[in-house]
């Protein structure tokens, strides 16, 4: 769902955000993981102020357009289903349940 943050702000459309960054030869992306998310802007030093202003706008004033959120939700649900059906994931779940019982919590990540 992190990608929806780049779909526009209250002051800029998604196209304006990408045009500003890409015309400067840079890139902007948003990623999320199990317990974290990030927004990254890659630019050359002369464009740093503009990049920080755009990133600030993205972080402070996201619009989260309803259509884009619904679309991303569908993509994420399909990815979860595909992952749940992947043979190696099914085998790992079965092994964990056989060893530790049904509903055993996932191990804690290393610090």
pLDDT by residue for the chain (111 residues), tens only, comes to 788 999 999 999 999 999 999 999 999 999 988 788 899 999 999 999 999 999 999 999 999 999 999 999 999 899 888 888 888 888 888 888 888 887 767 666 666
SS3 107: coil
pTM over 0.85: no
Give the residue among 50, 52, 49 at the shortest CA–CA distance from 40.
52
């Amino acid at each position: 769902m992190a990608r929806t943050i780049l779909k526009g702000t209250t002051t800029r459309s998604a196209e304006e955000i990408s045009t500003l960054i890409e015309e400067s030869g840079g890139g902007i992306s948003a990623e999320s993981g199990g317990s974290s998310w990030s927004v990254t802007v890659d630019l050359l030093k002369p464009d740093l102020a503009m990049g920080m202003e755009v990133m600030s706008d993205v972080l402070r004033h996201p619009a989260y357009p309803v259509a884009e959120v619904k679309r991303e939700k569908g993509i994420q649900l399909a990815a979860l289903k595909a992952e749940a059906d992947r043979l190696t994931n099914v085998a790992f779940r079965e092994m964990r349940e056989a060893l530790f019982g049904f509903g055993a919590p996932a191990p804690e990540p290393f610090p």
